[in-house]
Structure 1
Amino acid sequence: MPRASKPKSPRRGNRKTIPDLPCQFPGCGRTFKTASGLTRHVRAYHDNPTEIAGPSTMPFDNPSPSNGSSSQPSPLRDSPMPAWEPHSSTPPASVAEGNGPENHWRRIYHPFLTGRPCDENGVYLPAGEPPQPRHDLALDEWDPYEDLVQFRLADFAFRKAQISGSNIDELLEIWALDKLKSDEPAPFANADHLYETIDATTLGDAPWKCLVTDPVSTAADAPEWARRSYEIWYRDPKVVVKNLLDNPDFNGLFDYAPYIEINPENKRRWSDFMSANFAWSHSDEIYKADNSTAGSDDLPAVLLARTRRLSRCPPAMSNTIQGDRKYDNDPAFRTFKRQLYHASWAAVLSSLKPGMTNPVVRRCPDGHFRRVIYDFGPFIADYPEQVLLAGIVQGWCTKCTAPAHDLDGSISTARTYESTEELITAFDGDAKTLWENYGINTDVIPFTTEFLRADIHEMLSPDLLHQLIKGTFKDHLVEWVGEYLSLTHEKAEAEKILDEIDRRIAAVPAFGGLRRFKQGRRFKQWTGDDSKALMKVYLPALKGLVPPEIIQTLSSFLDFCYLVRRQDFDEDTLDSIDAAVSTFHKRREFFRTAGVRPEGFSLPRQHSILHYCWDIKRFGAPYGVCSSITESRHITAVKKPWRCSSRFEALGQMLLTNQRLDKLAAARVDFEERGMLRPQFPALPDKINVDDDADEEAIDGPRVEGAVVLARTRERSYPSDPVDLGVHINVPQLSDLLRTYLNLDANANLDDIEHLSVFHSATASFYSPSDPSGIRGMKRERIRCTPSWRKHGPRRDCAFIVEDDAPGFSGMSVVRIRLLFSFTYNGVYHPCALVRWFKKVGTRPDPETGMWIVEPDIRYGSHFITIEHLDTILCAAHLIPVFGERNIPHDLRYTDSLDSFLSFHVNKYIDAHANEIAF
């Protein structure tokens, strides 16, 4: 589309600006100096595609308090929800978002612990009473900073740029030289002055404290570890929780009462933690013990332990005690370490004890005060840490009493603190019997025994990362495939097959967010992200090289993995999870009969999948209580502070760095809430590079099932005439295809087509809460069709096209984008895609991989190609070749894979969204 000529822009220094143009998007407080800046911001961050029909996405009303006049039977149960009406004082059930009446979900809030607002003295407020202001500070009160410049400089130098102290001194010295011209001082005198100002911030202040143990023995002949004192560094959890609750950044993202979601068929759904059984049952227990707690808010604290050390500084970040190697096998030293570990947890958490019985008044993210009762919620830990926490023997299950030699057998009951005590009493504390027959370590008393409503066996949460992704998949199944090849082939032949698998993995076509394995799996340091990426592409690479039984085993496990990684779980989903577990257990027997696992499958991490349905009912979506939460914070909380330290006795420096970062973050939130500082946003995309955005990203937009729009910048190197464009892209029939698309006669004139423009990408926005997404569950991915991609040749992505209302892939097809373009015809705008079609092979997914297989749709000796409106495209699709039994060429590039094979798997494991639509 030719652009109208514009007058030349004035020089930048003379540009007129309109001060503080606000963004009108709800919840966005950003302002701009120019109208163009505001326009770019809105286009980049607040794209508003047409919303789906149905109720609007509105937050649920806060539950009202119960009058507590009578005891209401709890609707909580693990079986399907019975018909149940909430207590009369509980508000009418709210209707959640959905597509139709059959998908409407309503919430039933806990009738007694309702999180009712009160004043700072704990007196309940009338309904609708607004919260009191957080403070009486003036809008220009920057304390402890003098002004905006001081805060911005401190935040930039310490948090964003992480400038060293010496470089800060040099920067301030240069700044002071410039300020001498006007006889004014620099914002700070030196780096120490900057640090002292940050330290003076009271918001977010949770000082580090240190517990020092007394030596176990002072005898001269006692071992060294017994004569030493040990330091436990911590922050008072009561202060940390208070600061978290008083953070307005969490407003709108916080549930103040447990709830249960049901649909009109009385089927239940589990999603967030507060929708699950744990919070509801503990609220029942609290109210039953003391009905004066009515109206309070049960606040389960999520605990987390991570045994991880820095490679260069082991002692600095270790939560395990290190001694001389000669004590490694000393039973007394091992027992001491376990007992000190639990004593440390008990001491650190002791400040929460009073608030676990009597409510304490705390300000919440919405500004209201509430009476809060502290509680212990899920405990996130990897299996070795779980063993230590639960006081059991390595190789046993922390949640059930299944014997270590037959973990998946049918003889087991739930492990609880009470049942453990009964066994210890029954056997008179016989440590050997309890260790060997019941997996109980009598030397360890879990720290939870000192706290109300705390049972460590109930608290331990599922761990997707270490139990499933890195554990069962990478460390078990992938390794077993290699072992099978070694058992059934000569060494040289087995290595050739493994090399072929690696080449196939490296040849997988590109997709947004997919990590490429350039050399296959041949690298030493595997991360959780590497294992996740391998899960997406591993199965098709094996087909044709290993027996179908192995493919089916991995397929059933991947089905289980993707089911439990979802955001929402209804009763049908839980049934599907149980079925996937049963299928996996049957199919993995092939590895036993093949000699890979002759001893069976008593593997604690793999055994844990039996408990996932129960855990989902207790804690909600497993992704919310996964150890990947700590993995994502490891760099900012550990690695970067370590690099900023002097490396000598670095622990104290690292703790101080974290404390200062927290204070800067708290100050920024406060200044933003008072309107003194613009909200923090990522930098706007450069106008020139607007088409080079990330291939996928989470977006904070309204819910849509799917909306595809072309890039904002057209490509100028293409002809604007249909005939010339067809010749340019080597599709001479483009004009005929346009006539077909417009329902014109075969000889109709196309002169009325105007503003024909070509684009190299389009963005698809869709609802996918199970993937990394915005707070409304929205995700955006880029579909590319470009003749040159990162100097590796053309990239022409595939996409799903919706054809009818049949479920899953039965109602869709896959196409490959040949051209993205738009034009105007008779005044109507047409965003389109020129696509090559694939057709399904068979009427159901492949029985081995569980994926649909497609092949190019060849008609009359050539690819079937059409023009489709973008509204028919749902999102990007990922195809992986059916490699077969032959080896692929060594020089095959991943950019050529879609042109080099006859059939392809429709990869339903590429992400959670594909898994939910391509079944």
Structure 2
Amino acid sequence: MTRKLRNRTRKATEQCEACKYWFTPRGLALHLDNTARTACVALRHAQQQAREAESDSDAQPPSSAPSQTPSSTPQPFEGDFFGDYAQEDWDEFDEYDPSRHGDSPMEIDGDEQVEDWEEEEVPAEDPHAAALRDAQRHVHAHLRAKTFRVPFPDARAGQPLDQDRQPSAYKKSEPGDPYHPFASKLDWQVARWAKMRGPGSTAVTELLEIEHLVELLGLSFKNVRELNAIIDNDLSASRPRFIRREIIVAGEAFEVFYRDIIACVRALYGDPEFSGILVFTPERHYADVDQTVRVYFDMHTGRWWWETQEKLEKEKPGATIIPIIISSDKTQLTVFGSKTAYPVYMTIGNLPKDIRRKPRRRRQILLAYLPSSRLDHITSKAARRRVQANLFHTCMSTILKPLRQYGIEGISMASGDGVVRRCHPIFAMYIGDYPEQLLVTCCKTGTCPKCNVPRAELGRSTEPDRPLRD
């Protein structure tokens, strides 16, 4: 049994009484919420009835509006796609390098005047929510029935590039050369010092510019830019390092830790475990042979992927879309080593939802963890709300910035079977509860974050043809 497997086994402390599988406490809750097994569904209903009975017998009335401030008891981080984390994993990170990323310092004025954003007080859970969830599962069961598939009409979409399969990092290395892609042990040691112990990119570059130093040491790089290229192109990104960056808010500095999103996409997209189930092109599915009833059951069957593929094929035929899915929960503080923050996760829509939604498969990557400060040094409540919104958007803009270029131009990526395609990673979805939907879309409390329905008409109809927000 490997060390990673032993660690996961120790953390799986809760057993589902119905299916007898073991989970972490959070994993068991997610399992019962999403399972379609008859025995597990019956167990969930029994637990819900027990909780309702306990709630009815409690003399203390429940709060009508649960707090949307972060939980007072932070939860430990339970791992992600890259496995479990030790304390030293959180202590190792790269400092933000402006010369490499081409950004200016991030500073937010506490008095900046933008449209006010209000934090939402979410009402108590609808007592009919359980019945609604059961109805949804009933519908999902019908969606598993046979459908009539219509492929995307342009055969060039999602096609491999006209080149040989890309070998793995292991196969590219020379037999008996443990320091590949570096030329020697000394070459690797200098690179390791420059990236992990060095005084900074400018100082390292100036050191390497000393006459004949590179030749005397036999280095494969002459400056930090060339070293970064070797790392980005020739080393497998098993676990991308975090980047620490400071954001100045009303004169106070806050830390944000995030990963290179492109490296995270490469890791998920190139995982050999899923080489046979990745989806590369959109499809339309219908419930009848006459194609009158459209069926939606996974991301590639939706309208967004189809319409986006059409636009890309007009500009750059042969595109493979990688839908980027971001999720977070600002009410759930999480402990990352000695730091307490709230996490931002990422996955890709090319993975079937049956894989993405299972906690035990760990198809989510911890992309970033954001500052959890309440900004108490800002006395004005209105200004504090504005700055909280601006802080969030500034962090997310920085984290997602690489998608702007590669989403349009494309980037060559190899899937787990070594096949290389021109991929376009595009930010497609943000998963969050209602308060975060308001935060992401810059909407006020009580409005719909999806369409411009008047506030007074909320809930009066289910008209699906309202125009979406721009």
Task: Tell me the TM-score normalized by structure 2.
Answer: 0.45
Higher relative contact order (CA 8 A, sep 6+): 2
Compare CA radii of gyration and give the structure with the larger one.
Answer: 1
